[in-house]
A and B are shown apart, each in its own frame.
Chain A
């Protein structure tokens, strides 16, 4: 059931009800989401809730419209993006991704503090190699030198990382399928254990993906800098 945003009888906007973003749109808490349907719903609700529609309404209705439409926009922004949607679901399920989040990373970069960085084990060896190469290139750039072979090698590594980044999104999507099955299944103790397992796997995929994304960013900075 979709949350009630406006009166069905008179069409007037109602004060916002504190519901999660899935409920706001009347969607089940599933991760496979038809973005075309989402967009259609977003447009339909925008036509009813946007402040422009309430240009001549009283103050109370205008305030509610402002709150409702900001909520609508926040919900749409979160759900339309596959990664944000997954992160939002994890948060709803009580899982925090804080350490690997973009915010935490940027904070660490800006302050120069060491961030607790979990290197995915399967990447350890590659990372060691790449970090050495990056350090070398940085030094060379400082000296005004330029080694095309090294740049080529690093560019290749970057390409491989980008492929991994994409592959991890696919991996995440297979977890979505597992999750959605669980949502459809009836409640039982067994289900609860599977739920936790899927959530943990998604956290793991997202962490690895974020790690690679940050790495790609660092590599690009060195290559372009």
Chain B
């Protein structure tokens, strides 16, 4: 249905957002708490209810075994390639995990796969959007790091399906960001997007030409980001505590996980502070009643993080080389991701590309905004997007294993997607009816050094003497960067059946089951939730209004305005306890509209008070500028 809303989702390592195209510009949809960012934190409370986002954050400190963060780092990965992650992050793997099985993480007394945990975050974003629109949301565009491989992309798509979303497209994060930037600029030229987020780093070089966004090259590191800075600072703090206070918090990690979580919170705050201040203080209560206190100067901080941010240099140089460009040929540089707020990162980018980077859009939101633009395009678009087209590339070469364990590359990295390659196979022995194909992704020459994607077993080859069958296998990377394989025996013209065994990933059946488990009575669920949430909104605005009436701004309204507000207030009180969602919604909107002027006056008062340097009294502060108009949409940058 064309009337359906298609949302754009940035499923981040640290924070996630949902956005949509409102008229001619993309906007972020805030959560119930009025905030745009939904922390990618999932917790299981004492009643075994899943809690997501800001509300889940307190569990990180109080009951760390009941909360998970940075799950994106484990998406599409196997047991053997997460060993480094396990040392740095408090992920608790399920005890009965088998080799070759999709990872399962302990959360409270339960275990979940990474796609399921991501699905909880997606479901929350879906709810936020449904609450905002007052209508179900079933279609989405989700962003992924450009350097994500096939398995990581597939895992993200699975997460979408488990959350009840039809994922129309996976868009690369830096490319999405360029869409958000390019929307009102419509310039031609070479643009570099440097995206350093919570857990991933991407660099993409694009050529903009009359609305076509053509990615020329991309590179990155799917395990490099702000998380690494946090972990380094935590490690330094733990060393300090052991050295100076003789307390080893590493030894009994289970017992001390709460203290480590506190340290994590403190170092993240210090890191953020150091983006605008010359120094920051750490002050953490330790389990034995003592305190860990330290001051970090900007100079020391920059020295400490140098090795981490230097890891972005290699990918940048490779991307330039692959694009066949010199830094002087770059017209614009765009910064994306929260970690690009660090002044040292900005200086590094400036040196690398000899350009002062753009920072006019909020680096936390720009990817979601771009995803909303792409969602709009896929939904049919409008005048503002009609000339826009994204031509993205595959970040890694696709190969197949040939004799001697060698990788035969059939689609090279930085090929525009969709891209395809055709290979011919035959049989080795008489009457052979199966042919096995091992598909790999990576740049290395030997198969064992590349990433195993899947093993395909071609079945139903007509029995013939060895070497006679001619099986044509077509490998196609679609616009999501995900591989599709089809095969045909050319002598018989028979479509060969393909049995796919993903090396790291869920089978279709597993995803379906997870979807069913989580999808009980979704429709009814949705209606109930809508009413409950609308009631909650009504309460918020009514409470705010009571306070507003005590503010002297109330007296500045005309008699008619006050009378109008009074009538609508009564109407809302009357409808809010009923079961008619639309009636509640309409009353909220009407009262919201009528109190807009009051909210503006209150804001003016608060601002002028602040400007005069006067301390505001309690009354002004309570529902003052921070809360803004109780029903006003959050401030989009």
Chain A contact residues, CB within 8 Å of chain B: 43, 46-47, 50-53, 55-56, 66-67, 69-71, 73-74, 76-77, 103, 106-107, 109-111, 113
Please, what's the 1-or-0 string for B416-456, where 1 marks a CB less than 8 Å from any CB in chain A? Answer: 11111100000000000000000000000110000000000
Contact B445 A109 (CB under 8 A): yes
Minimum Cβ distance to chain A for residue B100 (Å): 26
Offer 24 A-B interface pairs, CB within 8 angstroms, sorted by A. A46-B389, A47-B212, A50-B391, A51-B418, A51-B479, A52-B378, A55-B169, A55-B377, A56-B378, A67-B420, A69-B418, A70-B418, A70-B419, A70-B477, A73-B417, A73-B418, A76-B416, A77-B415, A77-B416, A103-B408, A106-B445, A107-B408, A110-B445, A111-B406
Contact A73 B415 (CB under 8 A): yes
| Interface status of B90 (Cβ within 8 A of chain A) | no
| Interface status of B476 (Cβ within 8 A of chain A) | yes
Given contacts A70-B417, A110-B407, 14 further A-B contacts (CB under 8 A): A52-B169, A52-B389, A52-B479, A53-B389, A67-B476, A70-B418, A73-B416, A74-B420, A103-B409, A107-B402, A107-B406, A107-B408, A111-B406, A113-B404
Please, what's the 1-or-0 string for B347-359, where 1 marks a CB less than 8 Å from any CB in chain A? Answer: 0000000000000
Residues of B within 8 A of A67 (CB): 420, 476
Residues of A within 8 A of B407 (CB): 110
Minimum Cβ distance to chain B for residue A16 (Å): 10
Contact A70 B420 (CB under 8 A): yes
Contact B212 A43 (CB under 8 A): yes
Minimum Cβ distance to chain B for residue A61 (Å): 14
Give the residues from 59 to 86 in chain B that come closer than 8 angstroms, CB to CB, to chain A: none
- Alpha-carbon distance between A22 and B169 when the two chains are bound, in angstroms: 31
| Interface status of B102 (Cβ within 8 A of chain A) | no
Residues of B within 8 A of A53 (CB): 389
Contact B478 A71 (CB under 8 A): no
Interface of A is mostly: helix
Report the contact-size class of chain B (Cβ under 8 Å from the partner). 20 to 34
Minimum Cβ distance to chain A for residue B40 (Å): 27
- Alpha-carbon distance between A53 and B379 when the two chains are bound, in angstroms: 9
- Alpha-carbon distance between A43 and B418 when the two chains are bound, in angstroms: 14
- Alpha-carbon distance between A139 and B62 when the two chains are bound, in angstroms: 61
Please, what's the 1-or-0 string for B450-477, where 1 marks a CB less than 8 Å from any CB in chain A? Answer: 0000000000000000000000000011
Interface of B is mostly: strand
Residues of B within 8 A of A109 (CB): 445
Minimum Cβ distance to chain B for residue A122 (Å): 29
Chain B contact residues, CB within 8 Å of chain A: 2, 168-169, 209-210, 212, 374, 377-380, 389-391, 402, 404, 406-409, 415-421, 445-446, 476-479
Q: Given known contacts A46-B389, A56-B379, A109-B445, is B420 in contact with A71 (CB within 8 Å)?
A: yes
Minimum Cβ distance to chain B for residue A118 (Å): 22
Minimum Cβ distance to chain A for residue B568 (Å): 40
Residues of A within 8 A of B377 (CB): 52, 55
Residues of A within 8 A of B446 (CB): 110
Minimum Cβ distance to chain A for residue B394 (Å): 10
Residues of B within 8 A of A107 (CB): 402, 404, 406, 408
Q: Which one of A55, A66, A103 lies within 8 Å of B418 (CB-CB)?
A: A66
Minimum Cβ distance to chain A for residue B63 (Å): 43
Contact B390 A56 (CB under 8 A): no
Minimum Cβ distance to chain A for residue B627 (Å): 39
Greatest chain A CB density within 10 A among B406, B407, B408 is at B406
Residues of B within 8 A of A55 (CB): 168-169, 377-380
- Alpha-carbon distance between A109 and B407 when the two chains are bound, in angstroms: 12
Residues of B within 8 A of A47 (CB): 212, 389
Closest residue of B by beta carbon distance from A43 = B212
Q: Which one of B169, B212, B476 lies within 8 Å of A70 (CB-CB)?
A: B476
Minimum Cβ distance to chain A for residue B434 (Å): 25
Residues of A within 8 A of B169 (CB): 52, 55
- Alpha-carbon distance between A107 and B479 when the two chains are bound, in angstroms: 30
- Alpha-carbon distance between A136 and B408 when the two chains are bound, in angstroms: 32
Minimum Cβ distance to chain A for residue B49 (Å): 36
Contact B415 A110 (CB under 8 A): no
Closest residue of A by beta carbon distance from B479 = A51
- Alpha-carbon distance between A128 and B379 when the two chains are bound, in angstroms: 64
Contact A50 B168 (CB under 8 A): no
Residues of B within 8 A of A66 (CB): 418, 476, 478-479
- Alpha-carbon distance between A151 and B168 when the two chains are bound, in angstroms: 55
Closest residue of B by beta carbon distance from A113 = B404
Q: Given known contacts A46-B391, A109-B445, is B478 in contact with A51 (CB within 8 Å)?
A: yes
Contact B378 A73 (CB under 8 A): no
- Alpha-carbon distance between A74 and B402 when the two chains are bound, in angstroms: 23
Minimum Cβ distance to chain B for residue A55 (Å): 3
Residues of B within 8 A of A70 (CB): 417-420, 476-477
Residues of B within 8 A of A110 (CB): 404, 406-407, 445-446
Greatest chain B CB density within 10 A among A52, A53, A66, A111 is at A52
- Alpha-carbon distance between A109 and B446 when the two chains are bound, in angstroms: 10
3 closest residue pairs by CB, A with B? A55-B378, A70-B418, A110-B445
Contact A56 B408 (CB under 8 A): no
Minimum Cβ distance to chain B for residue A195 (Å): 27
Residues of B within 8 A of A52 (CB): 169, 374, 377-378, 389-390, 479
- Alpha-carbon distance between A99 and B221 when the two chains are bound, in angstroms: 35
Residues of A within 8 A of B416 (CB): 73, 76-77
- Alpha-carbon distance between A106 and B379 when the two chains are bound, in angstroms: 45
